[in-house]
Each structure stands twice: as structure tokens, then as C-alpha cells.
């Protein structure tokens, strides 16, 4: 930006004010010299009247002549300086005019609106772009000398400014003008105390941002609809105008009369007048900001009677105003019938008790039995009430349930395919099995990515930050991905590091695994490097590759959800574009800085900056469960498997027996006790699933078994639960922990580790 303040000089020449002062001084000096000269001449001439001695008069006249000559030379020099000053002044004025014209042309050619105010904040100069804003709104352009407050007031009162927005992350103020254009106003102070104001047109940026937001909202709505359409409950969102703005398939099927969707309709149009009047008090209460739960009997389109448990939850904006409410409706017909039957049985029971108490006072034993029956009925009633209360908490457990239920069959399929890969069926069959295994890997990666991004967005995952040694973490990751790189014809180099850092080891490992997965996916035939660098109080963990690189304008875009930058001519991959989005979310959660640099055609480097930590003196560095390398020392290993899924039991048995293990499987601790003597039979490892049937878990089942043994057996706990509480609990018990779906390579490493210990 060009400074509009006047410097002390231009091109080394005095400014016009200094030159005028200098000329005035020279003219005053010239006048003084003339006065002296005239006085000397008068004195000489008047001295002759006194008739001094001739020699004295001659001598005096010589002196006076010399003085006149000196004064005359000084006067001539002053006149020469005066002429030079006049020339310099003319040249300075020409240069000043040229500079002013150039500055005016530069301001006029600025693409932004330009306004200049003096130190009193009064208008000095504007360009045509700024004036065009006013002419388009048919408002007179402010004249020179107008105060800045008057300019702002005129812009607001005339309708030139439609909206004004201030954002913390954006410099200046954003205005929506009457012509539909967005401008960004920025202010800069001049050295003399004035003000330069620029109005930059950002309409294209705003439109692009709006398009991206709309696309993101549409994608989010699509995923929400995918999830809600598979929930058996009726789910909808109703705006403050009582219009149904969103609903899932179940809601649409129940309230879509004659096949017409309820979307876009008001509730009074969706329901009958009588039913709407019954709902109205609860609707008014939720619009007043209160959550509401109530039960109503409803009649379906074909006349079927159903009992519905409704939950209305208000939705508030940033100001706290209710803008609508969420609707969750669950069919509790069967439960209501059971409750009614129990209530009727309770009433009948009390009636019978009263009759028999009066008639059979001597039969105390039978009376006690009747009282016990009544207590049992009351207990069932209390259980029914607790079930109704627990129903409200079901939505918070939905994500965890989906993760476990979806991972169960995937885990079983992986175990079976891994067992098949251990067999020899011929090249064609082996190729088919490997194809199935590869497809399962893709499904596992996609499902794991979707579950992870959902858990991160829902706030289910919380970091467990501790100080630990990077040595084991990096060694395990390098060992895991070196085989993957070799399978793709790549070379993975690894620089070990023993620095102690402060972070969550599992989440940090997930960041590095996503970096390496991307590097292997896009590098082709090349080299990948995993290592770290120390920087003051941080460690920079880096993954380098020699892939195709990333365009500079895409370096920030790659961390957005569902964004994939594929080089021209490259084959389409099977990812969702969520890997780096997960990295970004995890890094923000941990407070770590993630960065990327890339050169197209040469490769990329992804980095995560982790603070250094200090191990507690009483705590050794944590070690993962899969530290040892694979070997062939599993023959004869005795393994007990407890899992409530028979398919997983069978798959695990097939896989482990293929490695030479002796395996016993059961769906519970009781089932295992029916097959082996859990107190005395030798066992090398108990492999238990955390989630079992009948509200039991693997931790309790293993505790029952080891309580009967003189020496507790080693335990490997397998779960789809990723919470820090469970991880800490397993760690305190001294058990090994592995998350579903189980990778056979890691499982075999754990078995080798246990057999050597």
C-alpha cells in the first residue's frame, strides 16, 4: 500500500515551503547589503564636505571601495544562489506534480474500493471503484471534507449496506451491499494520523464458501439419513413453524397417509385434528424449551392400535432461542401389553390374597407363597419401569452397539479366511481366498474409518495422555507396514527413536498408520521413510514418500472429509477420503500440530509435532501386546477361547489349530467348565471376548476361572470397545488387549510372546 504522508524531502531537494523560506531569507540579506552599500556611498560623498586631509580622504575612500567590492561580490553570490533555488523549486514542483499524478493513477487502478481520510478523519480522496458502490445504490457520493462517521451513517441510512458481519478469524468487517456483492473492509493508519480504508470484493469467495457448506450439509444429511433409516424408532425434526423438516423411513411409513410423505407438512396436517389437539400441550412445552417424554395410543393408516413412547427435545440456536425440536418415537405396544397384563395380574392377586387371607388364616405356608408371588410381580413391574427409563439412554449406546455388531461377523470372516490361507488348495483356490481376504481388508478399513469418524464427531473418544517411550510404538508400526510396502513393490525405511513424549499412544499410532497407509496407497513403485526429529521441547514424527506429490492449492483441502487428491491417470482407490480427516480430528483432540509439504512429481512429507515428556521413575515405558516377531513355536500351545458368537469360536478354533494349537471353545465360563477342568487343566492363554451374553463380560468370566486356579492363566481380552476406561481397567488387571476385528498377524505375535514368557 502506498503511504500518503509527505516526507521531509523529495529526491534530496527541499520542499516548496523550505524553498520559499530560503528565498525570503536571501532577499532580506540582499536588501541589507544594498542598504550598507548605499550608506557607504552617502558617507563617502558627505565626507568630502568636511574637507579632510587629502591623504586621509584618499585612504578612507580606498577602504570604502574595498568594502563595497566585498559586499558586491557577496551580493552576486547570493543572487546566484537565489537563481539556483528558483530552478530547484521549479523542478521540485514538477516532480511533486508528477508524483501526485502517479499516486492518483495508482489509486484509481486499484481493484478495491479506496478511501483516504486526513488526521481529523475527514475525506480527502476516493477512487472510481468506491464511488461506483454509491452510484449503483443511487446515493450521492460523499464529498471531500465529510467526516468518516457521517460517511458510515449515510451508507447505513441510504440502504447501501444491507448486512454487516464481524468474524474473529477474518480481518476487518464484512458488508453485504445493496447490489448483492460482498466486500471486506480493512483499515490502515497513516504516519500523520490519517486513515486508509480498502473495500475488497470477496463475493466469489463467499459464494464458493457457501457452496462448500451446502455440499457438506447435504453430505452430512445423507449420512444421517443412512443411519436413521436403519433405526427401528421413528425419528423426525420439526421446525419452530411446526413443519416436518426431516424424517426417517419408519416415520414416513407410519405417518405417510395414502403414500404421501409428511416432509414439508405442518403437524396439524400430518395428524388428525383430535390427535393434534392431544399433542398440542406437549408441543407448546417443548417450544418453551423443556424436554418432554410421554406415551400416547395411536391408530395406524390401516386401523392398527399401537402404543408409542414419544420424546421431544428442543433445539436451540446460539442465542438460546428454540428453533425447533427433535422427535424420537418408539413402539412400546408389546411392553405396554405386558405392563397391563402385569397390572391386571397384580390386581387379581391382591383380590385373591384378600379372599384367601379371610378364608384360610390357618394356612400360613400357602399365604407366604402368595406373598412371594406378589413380590415377584412387583419386581417385574419395577424391571418394566427401569426398562422404560433405560429406553431414553438407548440412543447414546447406539454407536457402540453398531460398532460391536458390525465387527462381529467381520471378525469371524477374517478368522476363517486367515485359516484358509494356512491351507493348500491349489493356485486357483488360493487366489480366490486371497481375493476374499483382500475384500475383507477393504471392508474392515472402510467400516473402521466410518466408525472412527463417527466416534470422533460424537465425542465418544477421549484421549488418555501419558508419557511413554516412542521406541516400541515406532518399531511395531514399522514392522507392521514393512510387509505391506513389500507387497506393493515398495521399500519402507525406518529410523528408530527412543524419545519420551507426552501423548495418547494409541491415537498417535493411528495418526502414523494413516500417514503410512496413504504413502503406500499413492507412492507406487518407490521408497517410504518413517522417522523423527527433535526440535527443542518437541519431537517431529514424519513419513516421507516418493509419490506423485500434491498440488500446492490442495494441501489444506486433503484434510477435509471425503476429499481425495488422485494424480491424473491414477487408478481409483477404495478409500472414502476420511484418513487425513481422522488425523486432523485426532491431532486437534491431542493438541498436536499436523503439517504437510509436497513437491509435485517428487513426493510428500507428512509430520505431526508431539511434545516431549518425562517418564515417572516408578513407571516403565508402556509396551504393546504385539512386540515379538513371528516364529513357529506355537505347536502344542493350549488355548481356551470364550466368545458368545459361535461363528467366531469356530473361526478362531480353525485358525489356531492351523498353527498347531490345541483349542477349546465355549460361549461362556460355564460352558468352558463343562468341557475342561478349569481349576487344574494346563492352559497357556485364555482368549476372551469382552461382550458376552446375559449382561456378562469377559473380565468377569476370566476372574471366575482364575479364582479357581492356583496360578492365574495369561489373558488376552478382545473387544470392539475403544474407551479409555476399559483400556485402563484391562491394563490394571495385567491382561493383554486387542481390538476387533482381530488381525491374525498380531494374534500370532501375541501367542508367540505368551509362549516365550
Q: How far is CA 485 from CA 330, 445, 488, 600, 745, in A?
A: 50, 17, 5, 21, 15
Q: Are 194 and 5 in contact (CB under 8 A)?
A: yes
Domain end among 184, 201, 218: 201
Instruction: Using CB atoms within 10 Å of the CB of residue 655, give its burial: 0 to 12 exposed, 13 to 18 middle, 19+ buried.
Output: buried
Burial class (CB in 10 A: 0-12, 13-18, 19+), 258: exposed
The answer to whether residues 101 and 131 belong to one domain is no
Task: Name the more confident of 415 and 83.
Answer: 83
Residue 404 lies in a domain: no
Most confident of 278-282, 550-554, 695-699: 278-282
Proportion of the chain above pLDDT 70, given as a percent: 78
pLDDT given for residue 3 in this prediction:
33
Average pLDDT over residues 192-214: 82
Give me the number of domains the chain comprises. Answer: 6
pLDDT at 170 over 80: no
445 in a structural domain: no
Q: Are 468 and 615 in contact (CB under 8 A)?
A: yes
Percent of the chain whose pLDDT exceeds 90: 7
pLDDT at residue 292, as a whole number: 92
Note whether residue 691 is domain-resident.
yes
Same domain, 154 and 30: no
Q: What's this model's pTM, rounded to 2 decimal places?
A: 0.37
Domain that holds residue 376: 335-392
- Beta strands across the sheet bearing 685-689: 662-666, 638-642, 685-689, 715-719, 736-739
Q: Report which DSSP code applies to 561.
A: T
CATH number of the domain to which 125 belongs: 3.30.450
> Is the model's pLDDT at 561 over the cut of 60?
no
Q: Convert the pLDDT of each residue in 335-381 to its tens digit.
A: 878 878 888 888 888 777 777 776 766 667 766 777 787 788 778 77
Based on the fold, state whether residues 179 and 236 are members of the same structural domain.
no
Q: Quickly state the pLDDT bin for 440 (edges 50, 70, 90).
A: low
Looking at residue 288, its pLDDT comes to 92
Instruction: State the average pLDDT for the chain.
Output: 78
Is 431's pLDDT higher than 70? no
Whether residue 128 sits in one domain with residue 90: no
Q: Report pLDDT for 619.
A: 47
- pLDDT value, residue 538: 92
Q: Cα angle vertex 546, ends 540, 551, to 5°?
A: 85
**What one-character DSSP code corresponds to residue 24?**
H
Can you tell me the mean pLDDT for 177-200? 85
Tens of pLDDT, residues 32-63: 887 877 777 776 566 544 445 666 666 777 78
Regarding whether 81 and 35 lie in a shared domain, the answer is yes
Residue 243 pLDDT: 92
Give the containing element (helix H, strand E) for 31. helix 16-47
Is 134 in the same domain as 93?
A: no
240 lies in some domain = yes
- Are 236 and 350 in a shared domain? no
Asked whether residue 620 is domain-assigned, the answer is no
Residues 212-233, mean pLDDT to the nearest whole number: 74
Q: Quick one: how many helices (H) and strands (E) in the chain?
A: 20, 23
Q: Domain holding 718: CATH number?
A: 3.40.50.2300
DSSP 48: G
- The pLDDT of residue 424 is 59
pLDDT over threshold 60, residue 621: no
Q: Which residues contact 432 (CB under 8 A, 6 or more apart)?
A: none
Task: List pLDDT tens digits, range 488-525.
Answer: 888 889 988 888 999 988 888 888 988 888 888 888 78
Note whether residue 271 is domain-resident.
yes
- What contacts 613, CB < 8 A, 6 or more positions away? 466, 467, 468, 500, 501, 502, 503
pLDDT tier for residue 7 given thresholds of 50, 70 and 90: very low
140 and 67 belong to one structural domain: no
Q: Of 65, 89, 108, which residue is a domain's last?
A: 108
Q: Is residue 589 part of a domain?
A: yes
In a domain, 363, yes or no: yes
User: What residues contact 381, with CB distance under 8 A and at least 6 apart?
Assistant: 339, 342, 343, 346
Q: Which of 12-16, 199-203, 365-369, 545-549 has the lowest mean pLDDT?
A: 12-16
- Residues forming a β-bridge with 308: 296, 331
| 687, 648 contact by CB (below 8 A) | no
Q: Kindly state whether residues 510 and 374 are assigned to the same domain.
A: no
Q: What is the mean pLDDT of residues 147-168?
A: 83
CB distance 332 to 307 below 8 Å: yes
Domain boundary among 80, 108, 136: 108
Mean pLDDT over 126-133 rounds to 83
List own/partner pairs for 127-132 with CB under 8 A and 24 or more apart: 129/199, 130/199
- The reply to whether 601 and 685 lie within a common domain is no
Q: Is the pLDDT of residue 571 over 80?
A: no
Considering the domain architecture, whether residues 339 and 327 belong to the same structural domain is answered as no
Q: Looking at residue 482, which CATH number applies to its domain?
A: 3.30.565.10
- Shared domain for 602 and 671, answered yes or no, is no
Amino acid at each position: 500500500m502506498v503511504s500518503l504522508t509527505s516526507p521531509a524531502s523529495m529526491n534530496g531537494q527541499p520542499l516548496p515551503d523550505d524553498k520559499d523560506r530560503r528565498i525570503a531569507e536571501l532577499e532580506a540579506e540582499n536588501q541589507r547589503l544594498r542598504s550598507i552599500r548605499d550608506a557607504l556611498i552617502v558617507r563617502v560623498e558627505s565626507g568630502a564636505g568636511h574637507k579632510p586631509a587629502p591623504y586621509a580622504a584618499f585612504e578612507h575612500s580606498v577602504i570604502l571601495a574595498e568594502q563595497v567590492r566585498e559586499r558586491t561580490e557577496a551580493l552576486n553570490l547570493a543572487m546566484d544562489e537565489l537563481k539556483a533555488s528558483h530552478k530547484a523549486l521549479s523542478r521540485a514542483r514538477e516532480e511533486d506534480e508528477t508524483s501526485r499524478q502517479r499516486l492518483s493513477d495508482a489509486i484509481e487502478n486499484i481493484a478495491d474500493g479506496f478511501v483516504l481520510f486526513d488526521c481529523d478523519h475527514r475525506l480527502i480522496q476516493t477512487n472510481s471503484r468506491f464511488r461506483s458502490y454509491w452510484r449503483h445504490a443511487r446515493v450521492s457520493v460523499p464529498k471531500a471534507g465529510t467526516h468518516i462517521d457521517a460517511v458510515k451513517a449515510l451508507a447505513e441510512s441510504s440502504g447501501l449496506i444491507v448486512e454487516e458481519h464481524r468474524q474473529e478469524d477474518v480481518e476487518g468487517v464484512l458488508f453485504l451491499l445493496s447490489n448483492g456483492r460482498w466486500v471486506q473492509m480493512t483499515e490502515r493508519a497513516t504516519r500523520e494520523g490519517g486513515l486508509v480504508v480498502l473495500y475488497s470484493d470477496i463475493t466469489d469467495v463467499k459464494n464458493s464458501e457457501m457452496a462448500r457448506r451446502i455440499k457438506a450439509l447435504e453430505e452430512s444429511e445423507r449420512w444421517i439419513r443412512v443411519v436413521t433409516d436403519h433405526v427401528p424408532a421413528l425419528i423426525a425434526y420439526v421446525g419452530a413453524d411446526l413443519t416436518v423438516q426431516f424424517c426417517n423411513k419408519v416415520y414416513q411409513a407410519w405417518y405417510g397417509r395414502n403414500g404421501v410423505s409428511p416432509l414439508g407438512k405442518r403437524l396439524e396436517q400430518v395428524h388428525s385434528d383430535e390427535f393434534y389437539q392431544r399433542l398440542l400441550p406437549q408441543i407448546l412445552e417443548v417450544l418453551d424449551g423443556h424436554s418432554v417424554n410421554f406415551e400416547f395410543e395411536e391408530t395406524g393408516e390401516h386401523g392398527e392400535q399401537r402404543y408409542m413412547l414419544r420424546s421431544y427435545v428442543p433445539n436451540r440456536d446460539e442465542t438460546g432461542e428454540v428453533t425447533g425440536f427433535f422427535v424420537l418415537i418408539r413402539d412400546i405396544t408389546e411392553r405396554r401389553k405386558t405392563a397391563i397384563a402385569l397390572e391386571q395380574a397384580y390386581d387379581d392377586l391382591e383380590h385373591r390374597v384378600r379372599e384367601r387371607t379371610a378364608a384360610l388364616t390357618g394356612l400360613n405356608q400357602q399365604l407366604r407363597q402368595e406373598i412371594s408371588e406378589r413380590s415377584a410381580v412387583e419386581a417385574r413391574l419395577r424391571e418394566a419401569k427401569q426398562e422404560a427409563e433405560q429406553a431414553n439412554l438407548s440412543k447414546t449406546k447406539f454407536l457402540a452397539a453398531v460398532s460391536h455388531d458390525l465387527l462381529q461377523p467381520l471378525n469371524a470372516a477374517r478368522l476363517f479366511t486367515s485359516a484358509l490361507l494356512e491351507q493348500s488348495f491349489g493356485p486357483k483356490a488360493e487366489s480366490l481366498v486371497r481375493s476374499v481376504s483382500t475384500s475383507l481388508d477393504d471392508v474392515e478399513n472402510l467400516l473402521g474409518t466410518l466408525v472412527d469418524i463417527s466416534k470422533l464427531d460424537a465425542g465418544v473418544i477421549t484421549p488418555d495422555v501419558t508419557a511413554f517411550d516412542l521406541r516400541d510404538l515406532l518399531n511395531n508400526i514399522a514392522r507392521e507396514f514393512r510387509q505391506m510396502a513389500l507387497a506393493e513393490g515398495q521399500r519402507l525405511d525406518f529410523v528408530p527413536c527412543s524419545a519420551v513424549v507426552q501423548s495418547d499412544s494409541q491415537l498417535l499410532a493411528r495418526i502414523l498408520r494413516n500417514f503410512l497407509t496413504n504413502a503406500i496407497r499413492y507412492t507406487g513403485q518407490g521408497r517410504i521413510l518413517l522417522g523423527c526429529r527433535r526440535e527443542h521441547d518437541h519431537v517431529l514424527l514424519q513419513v516421507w514418500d516418493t509419490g506423485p506429490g500434491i498440488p500446492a492449492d490442495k494441501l489444506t483441502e486433503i484434510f477435509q472429509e471425503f476429499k481425495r487428491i488422485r494424480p491424473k491417470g491414477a487408478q481409483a482407490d477404495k478409500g472414502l477420503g476420511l484418513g487425513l480427516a481422522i488425523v486432523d480430528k485426532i491431532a486437534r483432540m491431542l493438541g498436536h500440530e499436523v503439517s504437510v509439504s509436497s513437491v509435485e512429481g517428487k513426493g510428500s512429507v507428512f509430520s505431526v509435532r508431539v511434545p516431549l515428556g518425562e517418564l515417572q521413575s516408578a513407571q516403565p515405558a508402556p509396551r504393546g501386546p504385539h512386540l515379538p516377531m513371528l516364529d513357529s513355536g506355537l505347536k502344542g500351545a493350549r488355548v481356551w477361547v470364550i466368545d458368545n458368537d459361535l461363528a467366531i469360536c469356530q473361526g478362531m478354533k480353525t485358525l489356531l489349530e492351523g498353527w498347531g494349537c490345541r483349542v477349546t471353545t465355549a460361549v461362556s465360563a460355564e460352558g468352558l467348565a463343562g468341557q475342561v477342568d478349569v481349576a487344574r487343566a494346563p492352559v497357556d492363554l485364555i482368549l476372551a471376548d469382552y461382550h458376552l451374553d446375559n449382561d456378562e463380560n469377559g473380565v468377569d468370566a476370566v476372574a471366575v476361572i482364575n479364582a479357581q486356579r492356583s496360578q492365574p492363566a495369561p489373558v488376552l481380552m478382545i473387544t470392539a470397545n475403544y474407551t479409555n476406561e476399559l483400556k485402563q481397567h484391562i491394563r490394571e488387571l495385567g491382561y493383554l488387549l486387542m481390538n476387533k476385528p482381530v488381525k491374525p498377524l498380531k494374534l500370532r505375535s501375541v501367542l508367540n510372546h505368551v509362549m516365550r514368557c
